[in-house]
Chains A and B, each alone.
Chain A
Amino acid sequence: MEFELKYNKAQEQFRDEVRTWLAANVPDGITARPRSFEESYAIYLKRRELGRKLGAKGWLYPSGEKQYGGGGLDLDRIIVLEEETARLGLGLPPYYDSGGKMGSASIRVWGTEDQKQRFLPPIYRGEVRSWQLLTEPSAGSDLAGVKSTAIRDGNVYVVNGQKIYIGSHHGADRYWTILVTDPKGKRHQNVSWFMIDASLPGITTQPLHMLSAQSEGETDEFGHKNIIFFDNVRVPSDCLVGGENNGWKVASTHLEVEHSGQGNIRTNPVWLALLAHCRNQQRDGRPLIEDPDVRAKLAEIFSRLEAVRLLSTRNFWMVYAGEKRSYEGSQVSYLRKTTNLWLTKAVLDLLGPAALTSDPVLGAIGGVAEAQQRRGIVEQHPGGTTDIQRVVIARRLGVGNREPQQAGRLGEEGLARKNPPAAQPVEA
C-alpha cells in the first residue's frame, strides 16, 4: 500500500506545462469573494472564459472521452490538473456546472451515441453551462415523488411543472432534469431524464435568496438560487436520455456522482485558509497559533477533516482503479456534511464573532469564515440530506437482511487500469 502520490518525469513535465498555462490564462480576481451582483457577474464571465480555454485543451473535463471533446487524459495527468487548479483555489469546471458534471456522467453511461455526440462536446468544451433540476416543492428527499410532467406529443415532450432551489446567479444554457413521463405508471417506473435547452419558450425563472449557495451564487449574506417554471414547454424527444420511464436507473449514476462517489484528492480549502489565518493573525499581542487553546482546537479540526479527506481519496482511487464500490460515496457525503456543520461551531470557538462577519476589516479570513458559517448549515440538504445518506449506506451494507444494494455506475471505472499509472518515483 502506498498513500503518497509519486510523480514521474512525464507528470512533472505535465505539471510544468499546466502551471505555466494557468499562470498565463487565469485572470486576476477570479477567486475573489463578490460583494455585489455586478462583481459576481464579472467573476462569472471570467470563469466561463477560463472554462472555454480549458475546454479547448481538453482540461475542463479531463477524464471525458476525447472523441466527445473531453481530455481523454490518464489518471496521472488528471491528478496533476486537480492539484494545480486546486492550488489556485479553483475546481474543474471553474464554475457551477452541476448539470454538466452529473448530466455528462449519466449520458456517458446511459445516452445513445447520437446523444453523446450532441450533448457532451459543448459541456466538455465549456460552451454551455448546465444546471441540474431535481427538487420540487413537494419532492425533496423523495426524488421519485416528482410531479412535473413530460408528456409525449409526436416527436416532442410537453413539459409542465416547477423545480425549486436551482442553480446560482447568471443563468444556464441547459437544464438536466428528471420528469414524470407516465403519470399513471408505478413509482420508480414512471420517470425519465432530459437535457433541455434553457432558452425554449415557456421556461421562466424566478430568483430565490437562500442562506447560502454554491460558487457564483454566493454574495454577502445570502446565496442566490432559482425556481424554474415550465409552461407547456415543447422539448424534442431526442433530449430524453436513458429510455422512457427508465429514469430511476439513470438516477443511480446521477446520484452516485452527487453523493461523492467519484471522490477527490483535495484538501479542504477552508482548512488551508484557517491555518494560514491563525499563523498570521495577532490576538492578545501574539499570533493566534501560539495560543495553546487555539493549537488544541486547530488540531481537533485537522483530525476531523483529515478523516474526510482520506475517505474521499479512497473513493477517488477506488473509481479509477476499478474497485467494486458500495457505501463509500454516501459515507463521504454524510461525513462531509456533518463535519462541515460541526466545523461552524469549532471555527466560531476558535475565532470568536470575527467568524460571523464578512466585514472587510473585522471579518476573519477575508469573509471566508463567515461564508462557511452559513454554508455549513445549507450544505446539509443538497444532493441528499444526511438522513438520506445514512439510508443509502445501510442499504448498500445490506442492513436489515436485505440484498446489498449496488453502487451506481459512473462511466469512469477502471480508468487507471485502462491507462496504467506510471507511479514511479521521481528521478533524482
Chain B
Amino acid sequence: MDLSLTPSQVLIRDSARAFVRRHVPRAELVRQAKDGETWDPVWFAHFREAGWTGALVPTASGGLDLDPLSAVLIFEELGRGAVPSPLIASSVIATGLLRGCEPSEQRDTALTTIADGTMILIPALRKPDTSWKGVAATCTELTERNGTWVLTGSKVFVPFADAATHFLVSVSTPGEAVPALAIVPADTAGIATRPLAGFLQANHEVVFDAVPVRGTGVCYAGDLSFDDSLAVARVVVAAYQVGGMLEMLDMSVNHSNTRVQFGTPIGRFQRVQDHIIRLLNAMDAAKWTTYEAAWAIEAGRDGIARSYLAASTASDSYFEAANAAHEVHAAIGSDPRYGLTLYTRISRTMYELLGPPGWLRRRMADALAW
C-alpha cells in the first residue's frame, strides 16, 4: 500500500493549483456571481491550452487520456477555487458518456473537438416532471417526419447551457425507442435556452422545437450502460466537490482563529470546534472515497461501484460541510461579498448533478451484486 502521489501527479496538481491562485481571485468570482456571469471564456482558453479540455479524451483523439487520479487532482483544485466553467459538463460528463458509446465517426469527431476546445458539448438529460432513474430513463422520444428524425421537448436543469456549442441530448429513436445520445449544434433553429434563477449555479431550461436530428449525429451505448460508463466522470465531479470542502475548511479554520468574540478567538469555543470537525469529517470521507474510487477504476477493482459510492458521499458531504461552515461563520458567511456562499450554492447545484445520492447508493448496491 502507498497512498502518496507520484511526482507527475504532484506536478499536475500544482499546475492546477497555481492557475487558480494566479488567475481566479475570489473577489472576481464574487463580482461575476453578482453580475450574473456564469463562466469566463478567458479561463476556458487557459484550460484548452493546458490540455484540460481533453484530460479524459483518448490520445488517439487528441486528448491527454489522464489516469482517473490525475484528473481528480486537477478538478479538486478547480473545485477548491470554485471555478465556474462548462469544463465539467463538456470535458468530463459529455466525454464520459461519449467514451461509453459504440465507436463511430461522429463520436470520435466530437471527442477530438472537445479535446481541442472548439466544441463545448453540454449534456441535456433531465426531463421535466420526471424523477431521475438514470440517463436512459431521461430520453425524449424522437419522431420521424419526411424521413428525418425530429426532436421536440424540453430538458431542464442543464448546466452551462449558455456556453454550449453543441448539446448532447438523451433521446430514443422513433419506433424501436432505443436509448441514444444525439449531438445537436446549439445554434440549430428551434432551440431556445432560458436561464433559471435561484439558489443554483448556471442552470438552464433548453427547449427543442421540431429540431432536426441527423442519424449520423446519434450515438448508442456500448458494452456498459450510460450510467456505468460515467464512472470516471462521477469520480472527477466528486473531486471538484472535495476541493470545495477543502477550501471551506481553510476558510472556517482561518475565521475561527481571527474572529474574536467574548475576548477570545471563536475557535477556542468547543461548539465552534465541533462545527469545524463536522466539516473536516465530511470532507475527508468524500476525499478518500473519491481517491479510492479513482484507484479502483484504474486497478479494475469494482471501480463502477466505488464511483457510485464516491459520488453519493461527495454530494452528501458537500451539503453538510457547507452547513457546518455557515455555522462557524454565522452572519458573515451569508454575506455574498465574503465568498462562502459561492461554495454553498455549488454544493446545492451539484447535489443531484449525476443523480440524487439515494439513487447513486442503490446503483452502488446493484454494481456490487448485493
Q: Is the CB of B203 within 8 A of A353?
A: yes
A residues sitting closer than 8 Å to B (CB atoms) are 135, 138-142, 145, 164-165, 208-212, 220-222, 281-284, 291, 293, 341, 345, 348-349, 352-353, 356-359, 361-363, 367, 370, 373-374, 377-378, 380-382, 385-387, 390-391
Q: Is B281 located at the chain interface by the 8 A CB criterion?
A: no
CB-contact partner of A356 in B198, B266, B330, B356, under 8 A: B198
Distance in angstroms from B136 CB to nearest chain A CB is 15
CB-contact partner of B348 in A221, A373, A391, under 8 A: A373
The CA of A363 and the CA of B205, in the complex, are separated in Å by 12
B residues sitting closer than 8 Å to A (CB atoms) are 126, 128-132, 156-157, 196-200, 203, 205, 260-263, 266, 269, 271-272, 319, 322-323, 326-327, 330-332, 334-336, 341, 344, 348-349, 351-352, 356-358
Known: A142-B261, A363-B198, A377-B323. A357 touches B334 (CB 8 A): no
- Additional A-B contacts beyond A141-B261, A381-B334 (6; CB < 8 A): A211-B335, A283-B131, A348-B348, A348-B352, A357-B199, A381-B330
User: A220 contacts which chain B residues (CB < 8 A)?
Assistant: 197-198
User: B261 contacts which chain A residues (CB < 8 A)?
Assistant: 139-142, 145
Q: Is the CB of A212 within 8 A of B334?
A: yes
Known: A208-B335, A211-B341. A387 touches B200 (CB 8 A): no
CB-contact partner of A357 in B203, B266, B356, under 8 A: B203
Q: Is the CB of B269 within 8 A of A387?
A: yes
**Chain A to chain B contacts (Cβ below 8 Å), 9 pairs:** A141-B261, A352-B131, A352-B132, A353-B352, A356-B203, A373-B199, A377-B334, A386-B327, A390-B271
Q: Is the CB of B260 within 8 A of A138?
A: yes
The CA of A282 and the CA of B130, in the complex, are separated in Å by 9
Distance in angstroms from A189 CB to nearest chain B CB is 16
Known: A353-B203, A387-B269. A358 touches B197 (CB 8 A): yes
Distance in angstroms from B82 CB to nearest chain A CB is 15
The CA of A349 and the CA of B131, in the complex, are separated in Å by 11
Nearest A residue (CB) for B128? A362
Q: Is the CB of A140 within 8 A of B331?
A: yes
Distance in angstroms from A227 CB to nearest chain B CB is 11
CB-contact partner of B129 in A212, A283, A374, under 8 A: A283
Distance in angstroms from A363 CB to nearest chain B CB is 7
Distance in angstroms from B101 CB to nearest chain A CB is 26
The CA of A220 and the CA of B200, in the complex, are separated in Å by 12
Q: Is the CB of A359 within 8 A of B334?
A: no
CB-contact partner of A282 in B129, B132, B260, B269, under 8 A: B129
User: A210 contacts which chain B residues (CB < 8 A)?
Assistant: 331, 334-336
Distance in angstroms from A119 CB to nearest chain B CB is 28
User: A381 contacts which chain B residues (CB < 8 A)?
Assistant: 330-331, 334
User: A164 contacts which chain B residues (CB < 8 A)?
Assistant: 331
How many pairs of residues, A versus B, come closer than 8 Å at their CB atoms?
Answer: 122
Known: A209-B336, A284-B131. A359 touches B330 (CB 8 A): no
Q: Is the CB of B131 within 8 A of A357?
A: no
The CA of A209 and the CA of B335, in the complex, are separated in Å by 7
User: B357 contacts which chain A residues (CB < 8 A)?
Assistant: 349
Distance in angstroms from A377 CB to nearest chain B CB is 5
The CA of A40 and the CA of B232, in the complex, are separated in Å by 46
The CA of A179 and the CA of B10, in the complex, are separated in Å by 54
Q: Is the CB of A140 within 8 A of B330?
A: yes
User: B262 contacts which chain A residues (CB < 8 A)?
Assistant: 141-142, 145
Q: Is the CB of A283 within 8 A of B130?
A: yes
Distance in angstroms from B369 CB to nearest chain A CB is 23
**Residue in A222, A356, A387 whose Cβ sees the most chain B Cβ within 10 Å:** A356
The CA of A220 and the CA of B197, in the complex, are separated in Å by 8
**Residue in A222, A363, A380 whose Cβ sees the most chain B Cβ within 10 Å:** A380
The CA of A25 and the CA of B126, in the complex, are separated in Å by 45
User: B200 contacts which chain A residues (CB < 8 A)?
Assistant: 353, 356-357
Q: Is the CB of B334 within 8 A of A356?
A: no
The CA of A76 and the CA of B224, in the complex, are separated in Å by 67
The CA of A23 and the CA of B45, in the complex, are separated in Å by 60
The CA of A293 and the CA of B357, in the complex, are separated in Å by 14
User: B271 contacts which chain A residues (CB < 8 A)?
Assistant: 387, 390-391
The CA of A374 and the CA of B344, in the complex, are separated in Å by 10
The CA of A357 and the CA of B195, in the complex, are separated in Å by 10
**Residue in B130, B319, B327, B357 whose Cβ sees the most chain A Cβ within 10 Å:** B327
User: B348 contacts which chain A residues (CB < 8 A)?
Assistant: 348, 356, 373
User: B334 contacts which chain A residues (CB < 8 A)?
Assistant: 210-212, 377-378, 381
Q: Is the CB of A165 within 8 A of B323?
A: no
The CA of A359 and the CA of B323, in the complex, are separated in Å by 24
CB-contact partner of B130 in A284, A293, A387, under 8 A: A284
The CA of A378 and the CA of B329, in the complex, are separated in Å by 11
Q: Is the CB of B269 within 8 A of A362?
A: no
CB-contact partner of A362 in B156, B199, B351, B352, under 8 A: B156
User: A139 contacts which chain B residues (CB < 8 A)?
Assistant: 261
Q: Is the CB of B335 within 8 A of A359?
A: no
**Residue in B129, B260, B269 whose Cβ sees the most chain A Cβ within 10 Å:** B129
- 3 A-B pairs with the lowest CB-CB distances in the bound complex, closest first: A357-B198, A142-B261, A381-B330
Q: Is the CB of B352 within 8 A of A387?
A: no
The CA of A284 and the CA of B356, in the complex, are separated in Å by 16
User: B126 contacts which chain A residues (CB < 8 A)?
Assistant: 353
Known: A140-B261, A380-B326. A359 touches B196 (CB 8 A): yes
Q: Is the CB of A221 within 8 A of B157?
A: no
Distance in angstroms from B32 CB to nearest chain A CB is 14
Distance in angstroms from B45 CB to nearest chain A CB is 29
The CA of A261 and the CA of B110, in the complex, are separated in Å by 63
User: A373 contacts which chain B residues (CB < 8 A)?
Assistant: 199, 348
Distance in angstroms from A318 CB to nearest chain B CB is 27
Q: Is the CB of A348 within 8 A of B327?
A: no
Distance in angstroms from A273 CB to nearest chain B CB is 16
User: B332 contacts which chain A residues (CB < 8 A)?
Assistant: 140
Q: Is the CB of A222 within 8 A of B319?
A: no
User: A361 contacts which chain B residues (CB < 8 A)?
Assistant: 205
